Amino acid sequence: MNTTIVKTDRLLLRPFQTGDGLHFFQMNADPKVIKYTGDTPFANQDAAHRFIETYDAYVTTGIGRWAVIRTSDDAFLGWCGLKYHPEERVVDIGFRFYRCYWGQGYATESAKAVIHYAFHTLKYPFLVAHAHVDNAASHAVIKKCEMLFVKDFDYDGISAKLYRIDNPEYTLKQITAEETWPVRHPVLRKGRPLEDVYMEADEKPSTFHVGMYHRDTIVGVASFMEDEKDYFTGKQHRLRGMAVLPEYRKKGIAELLLKKGENMLQTKGCTLLWFNARIAAVSFYKNLGYVTVGSEFDIPLVGPHFLMKKELL
């Protein structure tokens, strides 16, 4: 695969090729290159080649790490790119280069290009990065990319610092009920009359709606309504109308909407959020701390659901 992902003044980034195995073997054989990564050297060149041959991130996630090539002489300098972490539901940016190319700005140049590509082409709302607490060079590159420190944390047994950068083309804010319709209708009520997206509780003073805009287009919505289940306790709200346009899914937007709503509910003294979740979304909500209550049930014209809840502490 020779497709160029991005280009800069000096570099191009492309998917890995079979011959790149040799470079992976040589880079990881340098103790200083992998000193802070937690990785070990490849046992031999064949192991490095097998790594390249079985690298499936491009297919399974649509993103990946990419080879960094100097355009002036086609030299393989290292790699830089994106990685999806399913448990944390985040995309990180990472990089690694031959030691002989350190200190020449290649890591910063390629990382900035990848961030631009992730934001403007792939439309991710944010990216994260991490580096070992003692890896001063990587911290410098990350900061040059205008990523902001979030926290110290443990990354696979390594003491690391976490950074984040938000896509300025996104805006998350409180909106009106009517502003939810361009997303609610095609996603949740496709093929049905527009009137079907209206909910009686939409206009109640205790109801609020949040929306995610990409540039001037609303791409994700969620509504939070005061509603009670007799067998739940505490001050309750119900989540309804959570929806993200298809081309913006699997980018973390739904989680950002939900967390925005949770934070707003907590300021209002709400102690429990509940809702009816579509079967396909149950695992998503479980990863965010929600639990199912009771058995599966069917909502006419919509399909099978589970009742779910979360204590807002």
Q: Which amino acid, residue 151?
A: K
Q: Tell me the pTM.
A: 0.90
Contacts of 74-78 with C-beta under 8 Å, sequence gap 24+, read 76/20, 76/23, 77/11, 77/101, 77/106, 78/23, 78/27, 78/106, 78/107
Beta strands in the chain (DSSP E): 6-7, 11-14, 65-70, 75-85, 90-97, 126-132, 148-155, 158-166, 170-175, 208-214, 217-226, 236-244, 272-278, 291-299, 303-311
Paired sense of beta strands 75-85 and 65-70, if any:
antiparallel
Give the pLDDT confidence score for residue 230 in this predicted structure.
92
Give the pLDDT confidence score for residue 40 in this predicted structure.
95
Paired sense of beta strands 236-244 and 217-226, if any:
antiparallel
All structural domains of the chain: 6-166 (3.40.630.30), 170-311 (3.40.630.30)
**Helices within 66-145 (DSSP H only):** 106-120, 136-144
Give the pLDDT confidence score for residue 196 in this predicted structure.
80
Give the pLDDT confidence score for residue 2 in this predicted structure.
60
Are residues 138 and 144 in contact, defined by beta-carbon separation less than 8 angstroms?
no
Q: How far is residue 265's CA from residue 278's CA, in Å, rounded to a whole number?
A: 22
Give the pLDDT confidence score for residue 192 in this predicted structure.
85
Instruction: Give Cα separations from 104 to 77, 175, 205 (angstroms).
Output: 11, 47, 58
Angle at 271 between CA 166 and CA 221, to 5 degrees: 40
Which residues contact residue 155 at a Cβ distance below 8 angstroms, ignoring those fewer than 6 apart? Answer: 38, 130
Give the pLDDT confidence score for residue 294 in this predicted structure.
95
The token pair at 269 is 């003294």
Q: How far is residue 220's CA from residue 218's CA, in Å, rounded to a whole number?
A: 6
Give the pLDDT confidence score for residue 198 in this predicted structure.
84
Each residue's pLDDT tens digit in the chain (313 positions)?
469 999 999 999 999 999 999 999 999 999 999 999 999 999 999 999 999 999 999 999 999 999 999 999 999 999 999 999 988 889 999 999 999 999 999 999 999 999 999 999 999 999 999 999 999 999 999 999 999 999 999 998 899 999 999 999 999 999 999 999 999 999 988 888 888 888 889 999 999 999 999 999 999 999 999 999 999 999 999 999 999 999 999 899 999 999 999 999 999 999 999 999 999 999 999 999 999 999 999 998 789 999 999 999 8
Q: Which residue has the tokens 């009520």?
A: 189
Are residues 245 and 233 in contact, defined by beta-carbon separation less than 8 angstroms?
no
The token pair at 98 is 């031959």
- Residue 119 main-chain phi, psi, to 5 deg: -80, -45
Q: How far is residue 30's CA from residue 209's CA, in Å, rounded to a whole number?
A: 53
